[in-house]
Structure 1
Amino acid sequence: DYLALRLVDEFDIKFFRLRLQANGNRAQLDLIWTGQAMSTETVMSWEMDSMRFGAESTPLTVRDVVERHGGEMWFERERVRHEAFFRFLLPMASVQEQLEATQILQNDSRPEFYDFDLFQTTDQSSALEDRLLGELSFTVFDTETTGLNPSEGDQIIQIGAARIVNGKLLRQESFEQLVNPGRLIPAATVPIHGITQDMVRGKPPITEVLPAFYTFAQDTVLVAHNAAFDMKFLQLQERHTGLVFNHPVLDTLLLSAVVHPNQESHRLEAIAERFNITVLGRHTALGDAIVTAEVWLRLLPLLQAMGITTLRQAREAAQKTYYARLKY
């Protein structure tokens, strides 16, 4: 799409053909047009420029996308036919990869969750409201749970978190802890998070883990993906632990919708793919926390380019999106 748009805008190309055929163990995809050809220098600059689609932009380049898919790309001319084309050589999916893709689709992200007020004003959030986002410290966290219903008895079985300071992800400063939920882990959820009953046997209960996590997150802004889900689990432990997580909260799901309002999906996997982030350890608490941290670091400059530079502005923008996405 991006290459075709540039050809239309800069060379007034009116018509394209796509040609797809096998080339050994790869697929050969050509984007073909008739008319003016371009210089090698122009092709190289198009490959390396950050892509734009109307008012939307992405830090990804054409080369980033091709390399992400393990492919190659080049430009050729067919002088006899007065045609030119971009050729992509892409690896074909093996039978095993197709099976794995099916399994991933079955283990989809959590449904969007709204049973928590992300925008409550507290003394801590008020004190930070007018600070620049780039000056703040963030604790990016995720939980794995026995199920999707915190108000109906589901419990946390793992917490993972990473810290961002001065716009940098401090991988050496992380928090990861399995939690004994005091109840059986449903067998149907084990393939998703990979945590079995044996793994949590003998681990500390949430009443011991949350104070440690509270200390880790002290004086920071909490960041999570689909944050209302994780925050609801923390809120329901207030009576047992005496700890109130009154930190300001930012939700990368909502902020992704602020930055890219026309994108259909704001699942963590979809955003990571848009930003060319390698997803490792999906559906482990620390793995998801690190992916979310990488997403937040890429959202930050895009928000700033929109004039959203303070915590207050980010929360207000997220709140508008939040109410726009509410489902009753």
Structure 2
Amino acid sequence: MPIDFTAIDFETANSSSASACSVGLVKVRDGRVVDTAHWYIRPPVGHDAFLEWNIKIHGITPDMVAGAAGWGELQNDLLGFAGDDWLVAHNAGFDMGVIKASATTAGLSVPDYRYLCSLQVARRTYHLDSYRLPVAAMAAGFEGFRHHDALADAEACAAIMVHAAERHEVDDLERLAHITRVKIGAIGPVAVAQHASVHGPMALQ
């Protein structure tokens, strides 16, 4: 299926959405992976405590990010990779929250993106006992990856979206969202504009 997007996944040091410590990105063109990127991220002061539970999940320790770029240095690289693509993520509200909180904490404008959640698409595509990323990815024929590795998770997310597009016989994310009845999300200026158009100027006062 000739479907284009960038899949994204974050790991965090703790429960703060501004504590991103790793990001994986996968660019898909015409239904095929054409590029990938991964960066460790140094969480900002005040959001940089690594909780034992989080380390147990993803295996990232403070030493591993000590020399990494912070969000303020990294955001341009992330934007450059994703370009004008729609973003997709599994449980996208979490990952979009990381982008918003990280940008705001770094004193930067929240970037402008539309996005679609592969978790919600999977719920409308497969009949599974669980829709956790490893289970949904297996339904899409993508298995044996290291869950909670940001790049591997982004690759799994991408596989779900490509497979779902094939099953629903669609060739773009907007049509996939429509046929699965999954809401298209937005962050940044486009989200503000959408809110204003739906709720009117009084809602912004």
Name the residue aligned to 2:29. 165
Amino acid of the residue matched to residue 144 of structure 1?
Answer: E
Higher relative contact order (CA 8 A, sep 6+): 2
Which residue in 2 is equivalent to 1:141? Answer: 8
For 1:7-156, what aligned pairs fall within 5 Å after superposition?
134-150=1-17, 154-156=18-20
Listed one character per residue, the Cα deviations across residues 278-324 of structure 1 (whole Å, up to 9, x for unaligned) are 232221111111111122221111122xxx5543333341129xxxx
> Could you tell me whether the CA contact under 8 Å between 1:272 and 1:279 is conserved in 2?
no
Does the Cα contact within 8 Å between 1:272 and 1:291 map onto a contact in 2? yes
Query: Could you tell me how far 1:226 is from its partner in structure 2?
Result: 0.6
TM norm structure 2: 0.78
Provide structure 1 residue ranges, at least 5 long, that are not aligned to the other structure: 1-133, 321-328
Letter in 1 for 2:72: T
Corresponding position of 1:284: 149
Aligned residue among 146, 163, 166 for 1:301 = 166
Counterpart contact for 1:226–1:252, Cα < 8 Å? yes
Structure 2 residue 142 is matched with structure 1 residue 273 = no
SS in 2 for 1:288: helix
CA distance in 1, matches of 2:29, 2:172: 15
Q: Equivalents in 2 of 1:148, 1:220: separation in Å?
A: 28
**Relative to structure 1, is the Cα distance of residues 266 and 178 closer, same or farther in structure 2, using a 3 angstrom cutoff?**
same
Given that 1:279 and 1:291 are in contact with CA atoms closer than 8 Å, whether structure 2 keeps it comes out as no
Is the alpha carbon distance of 1:167 and 1:282 closer, same or farther for their aligned partners in structure 2, counting shifts above 3 Å? same
2:120 aligned residue:
254
Counterparts of 1:234 and 1:267, CA distance in 2: 22
- Quote the Cα distance in structure 1 between the aligned partners of 2:55 and 2:72: 23
Give the direction of change, closer, same or farther, for the CA distance of 1:241–1:303 in structure 2 (3 Å limit). Answer: farther
SS in 2 for 1:236: helix
Q: Name which one, 1 or 2, has greater alpha-carbon Rg.
A: 1
Distance 1:180 1:200 in 2: 5
Q: State the shift of 1:142 in Å.
A: 0.3
Q: What is residue 42 of structure 1 aligned with on the other side?
A: none
Q: Secondary structure at the match of 1:266?
A: coil
Conserved? CA contact 1:136–1:220, under 8 Å: no
Q: CA deviation at 1:137?
A: 2.4
CA distance, structure 2, for counterparts of residue 300 and residue 169 of structure 1? 14
Tell me if the contact between 1:180 and 1:201 (Cα under 8 Å) persists in the aligned partners: yes
Classify 1:164/1:310 alpha carbon distance in 2 versus 1 (closer, same or farther; 3 Å): closer
Correspondence for 2:128: 263
Aligned residues of 1:211 and 1:243 also touching (Cα < 8 A):
no
2:187 maps to what in 1?
A: none
Contact kept in structure 2, 1:142 and 1:288, CA below 8 Å: yes
